[in-house]
Amino acid sequence: MEDGSAMLESRLERMTAREEFRDYCLWEYTPLAPHEGKFRSVNLLFHTFALESMPDRAYDLVAAIREGIGTGNTVWGVKWRGGRLGWEFYFYDYRRRERERSITRLQEVLRPFAGSPVRANENHPYFMFSLDIDRELALGERSLDEVHMYIGNIGSTVSSGICYSLTPAATRLENFYFFFDARKQTKEIAAKVACSAHLDTTRVTMDQVLWPELRDCRVIVVANKQTHDAVYFSGISVDQLLIFLRRMRYPSDLVGFVEANRASLDHLQYDVGIDYRMEGNELVFLKSGYYGIF
């Protein structure tokens, strides 16, 4: 582990005086504290790579994406499910059909790492797409055989998106997302959470889903997925991130890294998400994640 710690230390990045701050939608935000010399959020991603003993090609993949589509244009997500860590990378271009950061472009960037049989229709007005990252993809042992594509949900009273799975075999509906102002739309958020086939509000309190410790964020997203629902809290502090990591029982080494480096992470705003559903009379958390950019 000493060698791993030394390798991680050599990869850690620190902020310069001139930095752009963006959340997991690539929307700009104001830092919570002075930032020069402190950690970039990518350090949290690299720490999970180190915990999982990811190969050098995983770091090379991040470098290739930065070179191919620009630094600060990619959102990373660390996922925790069933006692295992995983990753998802997200790519935005709100110009839609006039986009430059396209699925086709990203496939070209990743070709030295993994081929992809997915054929995207670039006439679709998508504003975002994502792909799952794992050891096999980084090592070139599997192809990029699925891309998640996000299109706007016209007609919704709030900002909304629809996610589709693209594979060589089919295009399949996955999820709906609804974005709410966390402070101005509290009633609407609670109503949206309650209106679900995966939640029984006679047995579960709203606080069990909309955690009071995180509700004073900027944006809350409620998602309806095929087998469950999800809620996302955008714009929380490092102390709130620690509450989230501890409650969701992330690995102790991961939590300890955030605790030990809190002073180098207090300028950033964080985004977190929880997937949940009722199983019998109990509310069960299926998966969670936290996000940053590189």
Residue spans of the domains in the chain: they are: 2-293
| Residue found by looking up tokens 């693209």 in the block | 166
Instruction: Identify the CA nearest to 288 among candidates 203, 223, 239.
Output: 223
CB–CB of 80/250 below 8 Å? yes
d(CA 234, CA 270): 6
Task: Identify whether the C-beta of residue 269 lies closer than 8 Å to the C-beta of residue 28.
Answer: no
Pairing type for strands 74-81 and 171-181 reads: unpaired
Q: Which residue numbers in the chain have pLDDT < 70?
A: 1-5
Listed residue (146, 149, 180) closest to 162, CA to CA: 149
Give pLDDT, residue 16. 96
Q: Is 141 exposed, middle or buried (0-12, 13-18, 19+ CB in 10 A)?
A: exposed
Q: What pLDDT score does 7 carry?
A: 77
**Per-residue pLDDT, 4:** 58
Instruction: State the DSSP code for 210.
Output: S
d(CA 244, CA 80) in angstroms, rounded, equals 12
Could you give the count of Cα atoms lying within 13 Å of 168 in the half-sphere of its Cβ?
6
How confident is the model at residue 145, as a pLDDT? Answer: 97
Beta strand spans in the chain (E): 74-81, 84-92, 126-133, 147-152, 160-166, 171-181, 219-224, 229-236, 270-279, 282-293
Dist. CA 92–CA 5, nearest whole Å: 32
CA pair distance 65, 170, nearest whole angstrom:
26
| Partners of 179 in the β-ladder | 221
Query: What phi-psi label fits residue 158: left (phi over 0), alpha (psi between -120 and 50 degrees) or beta?
Result: beta
Beta bridge partners of 223: 177, 230
Rounded-to-integer distance, Cα 77 and Cα 194, Å: 26
b (16+ CB within 10 A) / e for 259-279: eebeebbbbbbbbbbbbbbbe
What per-residue confidence (pLDDT) applies to 2?
46
